[in-house]
A and B are shown apart, each in its own frame.
Chain A
Amino acid sequence: MKTFDPVQMAIPFFVLAVILEIVLARTGRANARYEARDTAVSLAMGLGSSIAGALMAGVIFAASLWAYQHRVFTIPMTAVWAWALLFFAEDLTYYGFHRLSHERRFWWASHVNHHTSTHYNLSTALRQTWTGGVAGTWLLWLPLSFLGFPPAMVAIQKGISLVYQFWIHTEAIKRMPAWFEAVFNTPSHHRVHHARNPRYLDANYAGVLIIWDRMFGTFIPETDAEPCRYGTVRNLASFNLLTNVFHEWIGIGKDLARSRSAREVLGYVFGPPGWSPDGSRDTSRTLKARWRARMARNEGQGAAERGD
């Protein structure tokens, strides 16, 4: 079977879609915001990510091939059932990768730059990591080849998933039909994922199917009462490209330099983003806890004022 790279094939579509979104927003026919420097960073990161990916491709392919040579089963690349099975298996792998990339700082350091834009538009989709290869998240896909899926098949499915995830980075689409929202990752679900509101933190890790979030308790629906605010909890102070790429790695390095114990080293590297030995920094969990306390306080005050 002839192989292909879905992402490479989709690049002209990406370009045209971004232009279309800008033009529709410019003419008042779609809800989208673009800031030129923010867009420049997003697109430059996409370009740089392609180069970084090409540099790592040999290593990743060699490792996949090695895993495939030690496979448990032999799964035919031409069978429809094999593609159906891989679709679910790859999407579940993506969920795991994505959750890890948000909940543990070492992998967050390579993924955070996808979230540093304060905008949510199609250019944000292209704001991809340069350091994912170094962070080794590609290892998570090796079990698929070890199971018996040919490496090329896995690579194609990964590409299809990435292409799918492009169109959901938009504010132009409010909601898809209910059945679609129930099963698939959509612009609404993924807006929540990119939001920095405490209510929405660490949610909706899905790639293509939102069912994984529903199954594993990480699904949070978008609510019109609280519009999404995009970016990271502490928005970056700079449009500098290299700052965007490396700031969390630099942060880890600084923290390690002042670590005083193995516990601190492990916490700073593999703890949740924001972990600190004395708890003086915010993690998603502490931010959410404070948000819940505020909500409870406000509800209590509201009830008291109503005389409930």
Chain B
Amino acid sequence: MDKALLIQLLGSAVAVSLLVAIAAWARIARPTPPLDAEAARALLAVEFPDDPVDALWIAADGAGLVARSGERALVAWRRGDSYVARDLPWAAVLVARPAKGVLVLKAADGAPRLALDDGEAWPPPPFLSREVAA
């Protein structure tokens, strides 16, 4: 490889590392406090504006949510300082089984890991009520 090109590449890699380090040092990411019911519904209104929410569950660490909308599950989870949202068949969410306090759902292009409270069962009570199941 041409020496000048190699030096240029190495210099660029150093510059990239430096800039990432400065970005990390600055701590100027968006604030993403744990989701509460209000924030969760606001997030759903943005990501799934046409889908009525029948029932809502928020992960124990507030970093994700699952909502039922008819026969679909609306799922959102934190990635960095933003959220990713996907929908899944409701049945797939109901049959998911948590392990070691974490529920892993399988979306087509991601696998959100949602934290459960100690001893919390899945599916949680809001998803088992007769009104929702009807």
Contact = CB atoms under 8 A, between A and B. Distances in A.
Contacts of B107: 237
Given A237-B79, A239-B80, A290-B50, A43 B19 contact: yes
Given A26-B28, A34-B29, A39 B19 contact: yes
Contact of A118 (B15, B80, B112): B80
A234 to B, nearest CB: 7
B49 interface: yes
Interface string A108-151: 00000000001000010000000000000000000000000000
Contacts, number: 89
Interface string A16-31: 0011001101100000
Contacts of A236: 79, 84, 109
A262 interface: no
B80 A25 contact: no
Contacts of B16: 40, 43-44, 46-47
Interface string A220-264: 000000000101001111110000000100000000000000000
A123 B16 CA distance: 10
Contact of A22 (B15, B28, B109): B28
Interface in B89-105: none
Contacts of B49: 290-291, 294
User: From DSSP, what is the main secondary structure of chain A's interface residues?
Assistant: helix
Chain A interface size band reads 35 or more
User: From DSSP, what is the main secondary structure of chain B's interface residues?
Assistant: mixed
A238 B20 contact: no
B107 to A, nearest CB: 7
A54 B8 CA distance: 13
A247 B84 CA distance: 15
Interface in A42-101: 43-44, 46-47, 50-51, 54
Q: Which 7 A-B pairs have the closest CB atoms?
A: A237-B110, A36-B24, A118-B82, A34-B23, A39-B23, A26-B26, A43-B16
